[in-house]
Structures are given as C-alpha cells and as structure tokens.
Amino acid sequence: PDFSSISSRPTIFEFEGISMINHFTENWEKVKNFQARPDDILIATYPKAGTTWVSYILDLLYFGENAPEEHTSQPIYMRVPFLESCFKVIASGTELADNMTTSPRLIKTHLPVQLIPKSFWEQNSRVVYVARNAKDNVVSYFHFDRMNIVEPDPGDWNTFLHRFMDGKSVFGPWYDHVNGYWEKKQTYSNLLYLFYEDLVEDTGREVDRLCSFLGLSTSVSDREKITKDVQFDAMKQNKMTNYSTLPVMDFKISPFMRKGKVGDWKNHFTVAQNEQFDEVYKEKMKNATVKFRTEI
C-alpha cells in the first residue's frame, strides 16, 4: 500500500468523550453499526499492551501450521482487522472484517468498553482483553508514537507522560480503559482478562488459559510449539509479526518489537516523575479492584 499521502501527523480532538485522531473516527457509523458474529473473538487492549502478541497466539491456535498459503502470507495486521482503523490507502477495519470468510474472525480494537459496537455483546462474542501496567504501557506508547507517522506527535517524554496522566492520550484514559473491562467481566462471562506481565512471566501458562477459555483442545506439543514461536525474539525476526512491512513506521527511530520487557519504565521515569505518577495513579485507581505488577 502507498502511505505517501499520509505525510503529516494527525492532531488530537475530543470524540465520544475521549481523545481521538481522525484515523479512528472517520468510519464511525460503520464501526458503531458493525455486525458481530457469535464466533468472533474480539481482542481488546489499550494501545501497546500486547495486542500483537495475543493476536498472533490466537492466530496460531486457530489457523496454525496448516493454514493455507493465502493466510500465512498475510502479515498479522491483515489477518486480524483493526476494527476502528480507517487509513484510506488500505481497506478499513470494518471492510476487512466484513469480507472475512475464515472463522472465527479475530478482530482487534483499542476502543474503551463503552464504545464497543453493541452487536458484540448482543451476539455474546468472546472478548480477550490484555492489560499492561501503566508505567510500561506509557513508555511503549511514547516510543511507538515517535516512530509512527499515523500517530500524533508525542512531543518530549515529559509532555507525553503528563498527557497520559491527564487521560488525554489517544483512546482516552488508561485508567478508565483497564477498569472498564475489569468491571464488564463481572457481568459478561465471555470476557477473558489477561495481563502482559503474566504473559512475560509464563507464556505457556497463559496459552493454556486461552485454550480453556476458548474451549480448544490443542495438543501439548502444539501448545509448546506455539509458545516458542511467540517469544519476543522469534516475533521480532518474523516479518509477518514485526510490522516491517508497514511503511508508516520508522524502525531507525524505534522498532515495533522494541524491548518486550516488564520494568523498562525504570529507564525512563525520573524519581520526580515516578512520585508524581504514583500520586495520580493512587487517586485515579482508588476504587479499582484490578491490580498490576510493575516488575516481575
């Protein structure tokens, strides 16, 4: 695809109560009225929480080694449509999803829970949510925005960090995002809530959890193979998962598969930033029951 028409960075505006950019709002009517299917699997995340990782695990679990060439020759962002995306130079997320003939459809979204098209709930589709601790999440988001021209200009680290703390990052406040899905899980049983930190700690265990949630009887040896194929280094080398085929990203600034660690925030936060962050965090999360680990 030719992305050269996207030459300037988008600006942030308020949309449906959250901060957004045009690439995720221009197809809104179609997003809102999207027709889910009962066997769809929605992969929902705050940006940079491990979306690609879980997308690839699910892709391998469902389509695996025996997938036809026309499937395996597609990069992960074509195999797993990004629901609200509308970049004009490639098919929109809804268009890609509508035209999918493989099942189940794996569909990715960063929308907060209150903006998920209602059809998913009506169809009782399964939802896999991945959450990542706020500190590593914001660091990863910063580097992503630095290298990706379809994202707003991040400014310097301190500016970016404060925008995040103010809840003005694209896709809205991290705090509400992780809490919203956590609350939803209390009443909607077809939602699995995963943590990035757990995936790093023991990928195989989380693959097992996914299999039981999805009712898959994948053999032990296939699970082991998948667990190996989705390790950071393997996915970084794999051009189907490392985003090297997407020209809007400049890996000389920062690669998509950047570090894949828990605790990299320690290399970014100053002592003062950390204290301020903790204070804001305590306030925003004072009623939250979901707990995160910032190191493992």
- Write down the residue that tokens 């907060």 correspond to: 112
Question: What DSSP designation does 146 have?
Answer: H
Helix (H) or strand (E) holding 232: helix 232-237
Which of the residues 165 through 204 are near ligand A3P (CB under 6 A)?
200
The residue among 9 and 258 lying less far from ligand A3P, judged by its C-beta, is 258
Q: Rule CB under 6 A: is residue 138 a binding residue for ligand A3P?
A: no
Closest CA to 82 of 103, 107, 45: 107
Helix, strand or coil, per DSSP, at residue 20: strand
Left, alpha or beta for 281 (phi > 0: left; psi -120 to 50: alpha)?
A: alpha
Q: One of 23, 71, 110, 162 is an active-site residue; which one?
A: 110
Which of the residues 212 through 251 are near ligand A3P (CB under 6 A)?
230-232, 235
Q: Rule CB under 6 A: is residue 154 a binding residue for ligand A3P?
A: no
CB of 260 to ligand A3P, least distance (A): 3
Beta strand segments in the chain, E? 13-15, 18-20, 41-45, 106-109, 126-131, 191-195
Question: What DSSP designation does 257 have?
Answer: S
Question: What DSSP designation does 249 have?
Answer: B
The residue among 30 and 178 lying less far from ligand A3P, judged by its C-beta, is 178
The whole-angstrom separation of Cα 293 and Cα 296 is 7
Binds ligand A3P (CB under 6 A): choice among 162, 259, 284, 293 = 259
CB nearest ligand A3P: which residue? 260
> Does 162 qualify as catalytic in the annotation?
no
> Contact region for ligand A3P (CB under 6 A) — 3-11, 45-53, 145-153, 213-221?
45-53
Binds ligand A3P (CB under 6 A): choice among 30, 48, 126, 223 = 48
Q: Rule CB under 6 A: is residue 49 a binding residue for ligand A3P?
A: yes
Query: Do 202 and 214 touch, CB atoms closer than 8 A?
Result: no
> Contact region for ligand A3P (CB under 6 A) — 7-15, 26-34, 40-48, 74-82?
40-48
Cα-based angle 284, 290, 292 (whole degrees, multiple of 5): 90
Strand-pair category, 106-109 with 41-45? parallel
Number of residues that bind ligand A3P (CB under 6 A): 21
Q: Rule CB under 6 A: is residue 258 a binding residue for ligand A3P?
A: yes
183 to 28, 38, 65, 214, 253: CA distances (angstroms): 25, 22, 36, 21, 37
The residue among 37 and 259 lying less far from ligand A3P, judged by its C-beta, is 259
Binds ligand A3P (CB under 6 A): choice among 24, 27, 30, 52 = 52
CB of 258 to ligand A3P, least distance (A): 3
Active site residues: 110
Interface residue list for ligand A3P (CB under 6 A): 45, 47-53, 136, 140, 143, 200, 230-232, 235, 257-260, 264
